[in-house]
Amino acid sequence: MSGNHEKRAFKYRFYPTGAQAAELSRTFGCVRKVYNLALGARTEAWTRQERVNYNATSAMLTAWKKTEEPAFLNDVSSVPLQQTLRHLQTAFTHFFAKRAKYPRFKSRKKSRKSAEYTTSGFRFRADGRLTLAKMADPLDIVWSRPLPEGAEPSTVTVSQDAAGRWFVSLLCEDPAIKPLPAADEAVGVDVGLDHLLTLSTGEKVASPRHERRDRARLARAQRELSRKAAGDGANRRKARRKVARVHARIADRRRDHLHKLTTRLVRENQTIVIEDLAVRNMVRDHTTARAVSDAAWAEFRRLLEYKAVWYGREVIAVDRFFPSSRLCSACGTLQGKMPLSVRTWTCACGTRHDRDTNAARNLLAGLAASACGAGVRPQRSTPGGQSATKQETPRRKP
């Protein structure tokens, strides 16, 4: 391929044989072990005011393989072990640049089960057969959608989720990722709980409430789990997996819905104006945390931003202190305090407003004054050091 295209990860479900599942499970364990050993070594060096880089941890890996205790590292492919050292190096790079917290050790029960293979660790055939290192047979992949014509994966990531499902993600260049024809449209987007999105055009997108639809099923599965004896017994593992399957079902539906929404917004509009929300602080309020989490505003913004970059669109985040709900979009008059129970109101100029539609229109109209001009504005803090939260979030039980 030309190498000038953006890369996209194509994720598929697959069904491993017993031998493949055992090999991958060993690999996941070794990846976690190497990551923790390297993190421990780097942390110890950090206390001595020394820095250990990727090359040093790679040399440590060679030494660990020669010792008696972690000699089992020789039983799996070395490629994912080297990759986890590179991921650790990236984590430290973000830490030193103050973009992330200090890396944490991986837990056997809670950490994600995954392994990444570069081109030396797998063989991919044009007919779709993918064979990983240390395996004799190709993976039984369900090709739910085709790869780009002539695609050659640069990395392959194999993972298993909490529900026991196996996935393989292939990173390929995708010629379909290119700027769309310029559009004249711009839209303001106000997010909420009763309505997931309200657009400045007046359109409202109802909240699907994916979690609420399966709440009874989830509660039943959680009750069954709570009755199982503590520990790591077979019955408790089965009950835990049943809970995970319900969560996976909810997450899959939510992700699919958000993908369709964000793709539509990016295709139809050149500029999309949203509000810069402190979602992490909002979920601390127990009265609305469940509904806010189910709405997945942070995931909506993440999808919107990377798709805008792919297709040559612009996403602008207006400062959360901008009084979008209390400002008349017709005459610009700022209203006084407005209880959250007030969903419609009439301005002194005689214009009657729907609260959410008015907010979306004000976000669009106020982008020049309240947003950074070239991209997404970072979050800011109140004078007291606490990040502000969305003023429109109703305080009610989800």
> Considering the domain boundaries, does residue 233 fall inside one?
no
pLDDT attached to residue 375:
37
Q: Beta-carbon neighbour count of residue 1 at 10 Å?
A: 13
Q: How far apart are CA 129 and CA 28, in angstroms?
A: 22
> Considering the domain boundaries, does residue 216 fall inside one?
no
190 is catalytic: yes
149 is catalytic: no
**Angle at which helices 18-47 and 54-66 pack, to 10 degrees?**
120
> Considering the domain boundaries, does residue 237 fall inside one?
no
* 67 and 118 in a common domain: yes
Tokens 């502000």 correspond to what residue?
A: 388
- Number of structural domains found in the chain: 2
* 317 and 261 in a common domain: yes
Question: Phi/psi zone of residue 98: left (φ > 0), alpha (ψ -120 to 50 degrees), beta?
Answer: left
Q: How far apart are CA 349 and CA 355, in angstroms?
A: 16
CATH number, position 255:
3.30.420
pLDDT attached to residue 230:
84
Which of 173, 197, 224 marks a domain boundary?
A: 173
> Considering the domain boundaries, does residue 396 fall inside one?
no
356 is catalytic: yes
3-state secondary structure the chain: CCCCCCEEEEEEEECCCHHHHHHHHHHHHHHHHHHHHHHHHHHHHHHCCCCCCHHHHHHHHHHHHHCCHHHHHHHCCHHHHHHHHHHHHHHHHHHHCCCCCCCCCCCCCCCCEEEEEEHHHEEECCCCCEEECCCCCCCCEECCCCCCCCCCCCEEEEEECCCCCEEEEEEEECCCCCCCCCCCCEEEEEECCCEEEEECCCCEEECCCHHHHCHHHHHHHHHHHHHCCCCCCHHHHHHHHHHHHHHHHHHHHHHHHHHHHHHHHHHHCCEEEEECCCHHHHCCCCCCHHHHHHHCHHHHHHHHHHHHHHHCCEEEEECCCCCCCCECCCCCCECCCCCCCCCEEECCCCCEEEHHHHHHHHHHHCHHHHCCCCCCCCCCECCCCCECCCCCCCCCCC
Domain hosting residue 114, numbered range: 7-173
* 138 and 16 in a common domain: yes
**Angle at which helices 18-47 and 78-96 pack, to 10 degrees?**
40
Catalytic residue among 116, 276, 356, 392: 356
- What is the average pLDDT value for the chain, to the nearest integer? 86
> Considering the domain boundaries, does residue 381 fall inside one?
no
Catalytic residue among 23, 116, 173, 275: 275
Catalytic residue among 23, 173, 174, 190: 190
Regions of the chain with pLDDT less than 50: 1-3, 368-398
Q: Alpha-carbon dihedral of residues 210, 213, 216, 219, nearest 10 degrees?
A: 0
pLDDT attached to residue 303:
94
Q: How far apart are CA 128 and CA 37, in angstroms?
A: 36
> Considering the domain boundaries, does residue 380 fall inside one?
no
pTM of the model: 0.81
Q: How far apart are CA 356 and CA 353, in angstroms?
A: 8
* 190 and 90 in a common domain: no
pLDDT attached to residue 192:
84
* 86 and 114 in a common domain: yes
Q: How far apart are CA 297 and CA 11, in angstroms?
A: 23
Burial 8-41 (b: 16+ CB within 10 A, else e): bebebebebeeebeebbebbbbbbbbbbbbbbee
* 49 and 63 in a common domain: yes
Q: Beta-carbon neighbour count of residue 267 at 10 Å?
A: 12
Phi, psi angle pair for 387, to nearest 5°: -65, 140
* 89 and 13 in a common domain: yes
* 184 and 130 in a common domain: no
Which of 152, 173, 194 marks a domain boundary?
A: 173
pLDDT attached to residue 367:
60
* 330 and 259 in a common domain: yes
> Considering the domain boundaries, does residue 393 fall inside one?
no
* 356 and 304 in a common domain: yes
* 188 and 120 in a common domain: no
> Considering the domain boundaries, does residue 292 fall inside one?
yes
- Beta strands 155-160 and 113-118, pairing class: antiparallel
* 104 and 190 in a common domain: no
